[in-house]
Amino acid sequence: MSYFGHVQGWAPHTNVQYHHSQQTISSVLNISGSRRVQNIRQRIFFYDKGAPHYAFTNFSPHPVQYQGKIYPTSEHLFQSLKFEHNPKLVEIIRSCPHPRDAFNQAKSLQNSVRDDWKRVKISKMDEILLLKFTQHPALLNELLATGDAELVEDSPVDAFWGIGINGNGRNELGKSLERVRAQLSTQQMGEARAFNFPPQPTMQSGHSKFGPTSSSRVVAFHHRHGPLSEFSNSSPYSVSYRGLEYPTSEHLYQAMKFLDHRPGIAEYIRTCSDSRASRARDISEQYKTDVRADWPNINVRMMDEVLFHKFTQHRNLKYNLLSTGTASIIAIQSDSFWGIGPDEQGRNELGKALERIRAKI
């Protein structure tokens, strides 16, 4: 489906054939002079009414309850959240008879959309889908049954939420569904998914190669995908700080390098049109000579502050963090300071920071 601001037109869901077939992709790699087949996870496409997994679209006829009110579809709720500052407009959209009408109504009110919508829309989509799939057990089972397959909205008209006409779109709706699936899978198990690392030869009582720990249980997360990837600073969860909203916790962390002495650079990071966390890092690097002089001495403390705001402002994130119990938290990323690095010998400072925030909240 399409959401204004990303496509020029709108096309309703129709009962037609898939634009792409359900498939498991395999690629042949040449490694050390030999050939082997590497299996890539299955891709599940959804979009058309009457086709499998139409319920994954926001046009499916599954009402969603939000703040005491019932919205006919998740599309109604998504469009309404653009106008949370104006309850009258919210009610107009909520009362639309069809999701297409809700979409069109919101489009006609584009000049009244909240100023921060581009920065928060992905985290809002996550929130909406979490409500939808937890309020409909059959949908929850259908989503969890997809396992670890890649979920793809096969929209020919939307290259942001779907893959667009050429199949190269961002597929943000599919990615959001995968994040919700990982979260609900974790909750259904009653605890976060644990990855038990093999004992290390140098391990001593109360220590591991990742640092001191009071638990032999380890919870690991990747900063781009998989269970608990929302713990990463790249995850699309906005953070409010000093009355301003930052697209991600990474934006806030990078802005803090300049906030007090070069506020113009901090604001540039916060408001850059590209809301991806990597862009915040790029801008910070561009102005690295202007970073506050004491940053190497306070960066870990600043990270704690950023994470505290992130996890206290998003109830689902707080729940997921607390669900890790007393486990050691490991950030699987190439950065050998914040993560464990490519050799798994890194300092894992992000994991340690998450453990401190877990104890605090």
DSSP one-letter string for 30-70 = EETTEEEEEEEEEEEEE-STTSTTGGGSTTSS--EEETTEE
pLDDT at position 214 is: 43
pLDDT, one tens digit per residue, over 72-114 is 999 999 999 999 999 999 999 999 999 999 999 999 999 999 9
pLDDT at position 220 is: 84
pLDDT, one tens digit per residue, over 207-257 is 444 444 444 477 888 777 667 888 999 988 899 999 999 999 999 999 999
pLDDT at position 31 is: 35
Give the side-chain half-sphere CA count within 13 A for 82: 23
| 214: number of Cβ within 10 Å | 9
> Residue 45: what residue type?
F
Q: 297 is written with which tokens?
A: 């001495």
Mean pLDDT, the chain, integer:
82
Rounded percentage of the chain residues whose pLDDT exceeds 70: 80
Query: Lowest-pLDDT range, 206-220, 263-277, 319-333, 347-361?
Result: 206-220
What's the predicted TM-score (pTM) here? 0.51
pLDDT, one tens digit per residue, over 282-291 is 999 999 999 9
**Domains of the chain, first to last:** 43-194 (1.10.357.40), 218-359 (1.10.357.40)
